[in-house]
Amino acid sequence: MNRSEKAKTAAAPARRNVPHRICVFLKETFLTLRFAEGALLCCGIYVLGDLVWWGAESFLYVFGASTLFSSFIYLFPVCAAFPYALRYRENRKNHLDYMILQRCSVFRYLNTLFVRTAVSGFAVMAAGTLLLGLIPVCFPHAVLSYELEEGIIMPFLETVAQAENWFAYFGFYTLLIGISGVFWGVLALTVSAWVDNTYAIYIFPILFLFAMDYAAPHLHLYSLSGQMFAMYYYETWQQALLYPLVTFGSMSVLCYLAFIYRGRRNCRES
């Protein structure tokens, strides 16, 4: 058997393991109690912001009011941290990281944690937003109609709403909140690498959002909460998507560098 045949033979089991690895990844990331709790909490925060609009007739108004006029939006970062952000801390406390590192490199271990946290952060925020389809149950008077709208629709989505393309309309906001969920999840994960306290891991992203929102007007920048829910009058929906993508994407990269640096150091010290 020549070298190329040996390489093909060795690669065959790896290819067969790919579907299994994908299934394990999806199961450990999404099919967990924490993921369900995070999605329900995300939906609950929307509903809490809508309670004062109990008698609203427009579903679009109820949906917009849940973020534009709500003081509960600062709780959203907690949802993204629920599914996977505590896994690194739990592995260290239970010494599972030592056993995991017997089978893979430190770099692969840390990267896997980071990627799973980012994916779960996106998915849990998107799932919680999709659960808003339950709003008609909580608000029986609300119906989905553009004619009942009272100016809550942002101009860059006006044509989409007029065409009653509700899949694109709510899909845009689902994608937007998912992008921010990536950052809030990895921010909590990064904090867990530096601080060994569960409460600090959950509270720090909330304080960070509040502090950045307070500082943004003084720095002539868009606030993070405003970018999370497209509260600004962007010219196009592409622009409304690009701003948070760049903002949360760049901060996620900084979190990655800080997490890898601290994670490698912790592995060497353990």
Instruction: Please name the helix (run of DSSP H) or strand (run of DSSP E) that holds residue 9, with its range, or none.
Output: helix 3-30
* Structure-block tokens of residue 114: 């980071």
**What is the model's pLDDT at position 151?**
67
* Structure-block tokens of residue 152: 């809550």
Question: In which band, very low, low, confident or very high, does the pLDDT at 6 lie, cut at 50, 70 and 90?
Answer: very low
**DSSP states of 177-201:** HHHHHHHHHHHHHHHHHH---HHHH
Question: In which band, very low, low, confident or very high, does the pLDDT at 14 lie, cut at 50, 70 and 90?
Answer: very low
The pTM of this model reads 0.87
For residue 181, what are the contacts with CB-CB under 8 A and spacing of at least 6? 79, 80, 121, 122, 123, 124, 125, 126
Lowest mean pLDDT among 89-93, 224-228, 266-270: 266-270
Q: How far apart are the first and last CA of the chain?
A: 44
**CA atoms of 161 and 153, how far apart (whole Å):** 8
Position 11 pLDDT exceeds 50? no
State which of 2-16, 25-39, 110-124, 138-152 shows the largest mean pLDDT. Answer: 110-124
**DSSP states of 126-171:** HHHHHGGGGHHHH-TT-B--GGG--S-S-GGGHHHHHTT-HHHHHH
